Amino acid sequence: MNKLWILFGALVLAEIGYPLTEGRARTALVVATVVLGYVISVAHAWLTRGRRTAVALILITTGGGFLVEAVGRATGYPFGDYDYTAALGPRLLGVPLAIPLAWTWMAWPAWTAAGRITTNRIAKIAVAGVGLAAWDLFLDPQMVSQGYWQWHTTTPALPGVPGIPLTNYLGWLIVATALMALLHITEKYDKGESYGRREKSEPSDAPMHAMYLWTYASSILAHAVFLGLPASAAWGAAGMGLVAIPLAVRLWRP
């Protein structure tokens, strides 16, 4: 578990470096951050829930994330009409290889955060879905501003956040909730692992809780102060705060 904290520290340093760099150096930090986040999430799932849960996490969120991105880019559903540029490196079916990793990176912290907030299984799926989808209130404005992808249909949009249609956020919520429901099903019926014993969040989930709360707080600061995106800072603070704030309260007052 100590190695996860070391990797988390490296992720924090990479994200701190993001607003301090530009061009290829900034893009390299984006990819490095995604890879680090992916490794941390999958390794944590393996160490705390077992091999089968980690494999299910990869199949559902990495595989599912790639599938929905490929379909979305080709058809415009469920997110809207968009395309990735070549900035993020190699692509498969038009999708940069780093993108499916990003789904997994934040899906697992959202799942563990939901488990800390509620023990009701249906509520856990809903909270985790919101927790993952709300991250895009930060992600999309930041990545679009850097030219990593672009939207061909941009209206209607959130006030103060032009260039990204509302269909994108709705699509994220639908997909994120579906992924969490699948993750719940595989975890529920994974009888060889310690599902029942792990249903309530334990201290071993601390790295994931830290990553979720760090992503929340650092994104607000970066958008509001360093990236010139005050509107997305406000929308992200409100949306992701629906999960991050209750999580922080639960951790402060167990």
Q: What is the pLDDT of residues 92-135, one digit of tens each?
A: 999 999 999 999 999 999 999 999 999 999 999 999 999 999 99
166-188 vs 121-133: helix axis angle to the nearest 10?
140
> 92 pairs with which residues across the strands?
95
Which tokens in the block code for residue 48? 């705390």
pLDDT of residue 194: 45
Residue entry with tokens 């992808």: 149
pLDDT tier, 201 (very low <50, low <70, confident <90, very high otherwise): very low
pLDDT of residue 188: 64
| Amino acid sitting at position 194 | S
CA distance linking residue 115 with residue 204, whole number of Å: 13
Q: What is the pTM of this model?
A: 0.93
